[in-house]
Homo-oligomer: A and B are copies of this chain.
Amino acid sequence: MTTSDEFKQAPHKLLVIPGPVEVSDEVLFANAHPTVSHTSADFIKVFGDSIRMTREVLFTKDAQPFLISGSGTLGWDQVAANLVEPGEEALVLNSGYFGDSFADCLQTYGAKVDQVRADLGASVSQSEIEKALKAKKYKIVTFTHVDTSTGVLSDAKTIAETVKRVSPDSLLVVDAVCSVGSEEIRFDDWGLDVVLTASQKGLSTPPGLSIVVVSQRAIKAFESRSVPVTSYYGGWNRWLPIMRNYENGSPSYFATPPVNLVHSYHASLLQITKAAPSLEERFKLHREASQRIKAAATELGLKQIPLDPAYAANGMTTLYFPEGLGAADILPRFAQHGLVIAGGLLAGIKEKYFRIGHMGVTVVDSRRNDVDEIIEALRKSINEAKS
């Protein structure tokens, strides 16, 4: 048999797109754990511990995690189908591509959606949020913590304060797909109602797990719905007993969980919550790496999409191509230097910029030297393309 110590993943280009990201050998090895019964005692413990450690990552005592086989996108369906009844009002604070899509998802399930759109590179201001909340009563308010298309970081803590003050009954939903693990999130202290994320970004696990954490207040809102849930696979009426049973040590069946990926996620959570560096230290390492990469880009004369450094993500960087250059000039050069980065995503400007992810093990495990490699490849690629 191959042991965890022996297992070394194949050499490959460094994956520094804004997700999926690099996965450590240990976490990848756990994805190749012998496939187990979803009702076995061993798996129940792994699943229950994964639920508990998910709470730790978000600093919440009693919020309810849902760990469901699916892409991060499925988190939107869960919010739209469980928390918003057809015809109810939702406010989307839009800072990019993922705001558009979340709004689209909410409408699919019958929500009435208003959007406040930030200018490109900005997040929605507190005064605009306040104005919107005073004009209408919303069942839910959503924002994208880090919009993966723009690299804009919204100020979750201040948004939460504004919503609590102006519209305390609104449920606050954070699309944190590109921020959990890389940006500080204090679920209980900030009074959040939903944080939705996925396994393949700051949590450094392969993709395929939708992770949604829900406050007890939001669970109550869900439980007092007047019409049935409008999704079957995404219905918390199906999943709530499953999550509670597994956490309490009993098996329970609705749909077969992705047992291998749960082992992998569990291995990553052990590294994140039980090993050094601490969560606080992790956020600091993300901030430091981000500052170094962004400073190197500025030195090269590159412009970021985020207009204000305070609203730039710490787990990724979006950079406009130098004048006259495009993806075909830059991305292959990164590849030649051994790095996979990503092109643009936001309609209208997608040809004009590129994206680098710096999340999870790439930032946290200093033995890897990934951040140095990113900076070196950035310098070389830009200088070569310009010359």
- Tell me if A234 counts as interface (CB < 8 A to partner B): yes
Instruction: Please tell me if the beta carbons of B261 and A108 are within 8 angstroms of each other in the complex.
Output: no
Closest to A340 in B: B37
Instruction: Please tell me if the beta carbons of A19 and B256 are within 8 angstroms of each other in the complex.
Output: yes
- Tell me if A325 counts as interface (CB < 8 A to partner B): no
- Tell me if A91 counts as interface (CB < 8 A to partner B): no
- Tell me if A166 counts as interface (CB < 8 A to partner B): no
- Tell me if A310 counts as interface (CB < 8 A to partner B): no
- Tell me if A366 counts as interface (CB < 8 A to partner B): no
Cα separation A207 to B256 with both chains bound (whole Å)? 7
Cα separation A11 to B33 with both chains bound (whole Å)? 10
| Chain B hits for A71, CB < 8 A | 68-69, 233, 255-258
Closest to A9 in B: B34
Instruction: Please tell me if the beta carbons of B10 and A34 are within 8 angstroms of each other in the complex.
Output: yes
| Chain B hits for A228, CB < 8 A | 108
- Tell me if A323 counts as interface (CB < 8 A to partner B): no
- Tell me if A161 counts as interface (CB < 8 A to partner B): no
| Chain B hits for A191, CB < 8 A | none
Instruction: Please tell me if the beta carbons of A28 and B39 are within 8 angstroms of each other in the complex.
Output: no
- Tell me if A195 counts as interface (CB < 8 A to partner B): no
- Tell me if A104 counts as interface (CB < 8 A to partner B): yes
Closest to A19 in B: B256
Contact of A35 among B7, B36, B80, B200 (CB under 8 A): B200
- Tell me if A17 counts as interface (CB < 8 A to partner B): yes
| Chain B hits for A35, CB < 8 A | 15, 20-23, 28, 200, 206-207
Instruction: Please tell me if the beta carbons of B2 and A9 are within 8 angstroms of each other in the complex.
Output: yes
Instruction: Please tell me if the beta carbons of A9 and B1 are within 8 angstroms of each other in the complex.
Output: yes
A residues whose Cβ falls under 8 Å from a Cβ of B: 1-2, 6-12, 15, 17, 19-23, 28-29, 31-40, 68-74, 76-77, 80, 104-105, 108-109, 198, 200, 206-208, 228-235, 253-261, 340, 342, 345
